[in-house]
A and B are shown apart, each in its own frame.
Chain A
C-alpha cells in the first residue's frame, strides 16, 4: 500500500439543531491510499455526504484529525487537490459546455490558451468532443453529468470527490456511465471517493467499500474488494461479485439493527 492520500482519525462532527445536537459523524477512522476507488454506502443520514464535504473543507469537523495530501482540507482546496462532482450537474445555463468547463479555469486564473487546450482534453476524456459549443439544455441528463465530471477534471486535481453523481439518472444510463468512469479512473489514476445509495454500483466500481450507518453516522465495515481491476459489466454476475454485494448488504443490515 502506498502513502495514504486522505487520512481521517477520530473524526467527529456534531450539528447543533433546534432538536438538540445531531451526531453526523462519530469516531470516523479511515485511510484512503493514492489511486484507490473508495465508495461510501449507507442509508440517508449516515454521514457519507457529510464526510465527503469534510474532505472538501465544506464542513468543519468538531474534533479529530483529517488530512488531504498531508494538508488540512482548507489548504488542500487552495492547492486544488480535488474536483467535486455533485448529485446534479449544476451546469450554468448561460454558458456553453465548453464555457462551463472553463469556469474553474477562469476562477483559478489559467492562461487562455491553456484553458482551450484543457477543455478539449477533458471533453475527449468524457466522450463529449464536439459538444463544446452546445448549451446544457441541448444535452441529455447523462451527458450533462459527464460534462460536470469534465469540469471537475479540468484543473488536474488528483482526487475526485463524487457525491451520488449518477443518483438522478436511470439505470441504463447509469450502467454506461459507471463503465466510462472506470475507464477514466484507469486512464488517469486518480483517487476517487464516491458516495452512493446503490449496492451494485458500489461493488462494481470500488477497490474499497466503506459501509456506514446512521444515528450517529459511523463506519460499520470497510471491505477491500477482491475483484480484478479489469471489470466488464457482466462481472456483476460472477460469484465473487455476489459475495461482496452480500457482505455489503449484511453490513448495512447490521448497522440498522443496532441503530
Chain B
C-alpha cells in the first residue's frame, strides 16, 4: 500500500497534463464554433486566427475555455469525454452488439490469445532447439533478430493478402501476425533462462551420469521459469499490438483496430480514443493475469521469496 501515493501522483500528473492540453489543442476549433454562435472571439476572422499560435489564442479568449472540453469532434477529447464514451460503449449496449466495445474487445482478444499461444509455443521450441543444437544456435538466432527489424506495418498486409488468396480469412491471419510479434521475446528470454544454470550445476548432473533429457526437465526447464514469465509478459502485450495491426489493413469490421480506423475515417475521435483505452486496459489485464500466474507458479516452486 506504500506504493499507492507515488502511483496516484503519476496518474494525477498524467491527467492534469492531459486536461490542460485540451484547451490549446482544441482552441482553434472552439473559436470557429463560438463565432458561429455569435460569441465574440479575438481575432475575429478565421484567417487571422490561423496566424495565431494555440497558446496565444487560448490566452486571448479565456471565455471559451469551457467549450473546448465538450466539442463533438475535438482534436483532443477531454478525459471525461473518453470516460463517458468508454462507459456507454461497454456498459449500456448489449455485449453482442456491434456498437459494444466488449464485442470488439473479444474479437481482438481471441486473435491475441491464439497468436500468443502460437508465438509462445514456437518461441519455447525454438529456444530449446537453439540451446541444444549448435547448428540452430548459429542459424536461427540471426533470422529471429532480422525478423524483428521488418516493420510489422509492412508485413501485416502481405500476410493478410497472401493468406486471403489461399482462402484463409478472419482469426488465423491476425493470430499469425500476433504470433510473429510475440515469439521473439519468448525466444530471447527462454534461451537465456535455459542457459542460466552455471557450470557447477551442469557438472553436478554429469557426476550423476544424468541423461540430456533429465538435465532438461530437472535443471534447465525449472531454472528458466523466472525468465520465461518475464518474456511472456512482454510477449502478450506484443501479441495484442499484433492483433490490432492485423485488423488495420483489411478494413476489418470488428476489433479494436477496426474501431480505431472507423473513428479516424468518420471523424469520431471519441470512438478512436475509447478503442485506444480499451486496448490499453485489455493489455494491462492480460499482463496482470500473467503476473498472478507467475507469482503462483514461483511460490509453488518454492521461489516465491526470490521473485
A-side residues, CB < 8 A to B, are 56-58, 77-78, 82-84, 86-88, 90, 92-96, 103-104, 106-108, 135, 137
Contact = CB atoms under 8 A, between A and B. Distances in A.
Q: Which 7 A-B pairs have the closest CB atoms?
A: A94-B301, A135-B302, A84-B207, A107-B208, A107-B210, A104-B208, A94-B222
A95 B301 CA distance: 7
B203 A86 contact: yes
24 contacts: A56-B207, A57-B206, A58-B207, A78-B209, A82-B207, A83-B207, A84-B204, A86-B200, A86-B203, A86-B204, A90-B204, A92-B219, A92-B222, A93-B302, A93-B306, A94-B225, A94-B301, A94-B302, A106-B218, A107-B214, A107-B218, A108-B208, A108-B209, A135-B302
Given A58-B207, A90-B204, 17 more contacts: A57-B206, A58-B206, A82-B207, A83-B207, A84-B204, A86-B203, A90-B200, A92-B219, A92-B222, A93-B303, A94-B225, A95-B302, A96-B302, A104-B208, A106-B218, A107-B205, A137-B305
Interface in B187-224: 200-201, 203-210, 214, 218-219, 222
A6 to B, nearest CB: 15
Contacts, number: 50
B201 A90 contact: yes
Contacts of A104: 208
Contacts of B201: 90
Nearest to B222: A94
Interface residues of B, number: 20
A77 B209 contact: yes
A46 to B, nearest CB: 20
Contacts of B306: 93, 137
Contacts of A96: 302
A219 B179 CA distance: 60
Interface in B204-255: 204-210, 214, 218-219, 222, 225
Contacts of B207: 56, 58, 77, 82-84
A136 to B, nearest CB: 8
A4 B207 CA distance: 22
A193 B275 CA distance: 69
Contacts of A84: 203-204, 207
Contacts of A108: 208-209
Contacts of B305: 137
A7 to B, nearest CB: 20
Nearest to B219: A92
Contacts of A106: 218
Contacts of B222: 92, 94
B37 to A, nearest CB: 69
Interface in B281-306: 301-303, 305-306
Contacts of B204: 84, 86, 90
A106 B205 CA distance: 12
A58 B302 contact: no
Contacts of B303: 93-94
A86 B306 CA distance: 23
Contacts of A137: 305-306
A92 B198 CA distance: 12
Contacts of A86: 200, 203-204
A205 to B, nearest CB: 22
B218 A88 contact: no
A103 B302 contact: no
Nearest to A133: B302
A92 to B, nearest CB: 7
A93 B305 CA distance: 10
A84 B301 CA distance: 25
Contacts of A87: 200
Contacts of A107: 205, 208-210, 214, 218
B209 to A, nearest CB: 6
Contacts of A103: 208, 218
Nearest to A136: B302
Interface core residue of A77, A87, A92, A106 (most chain B CB under 10 Å): A92
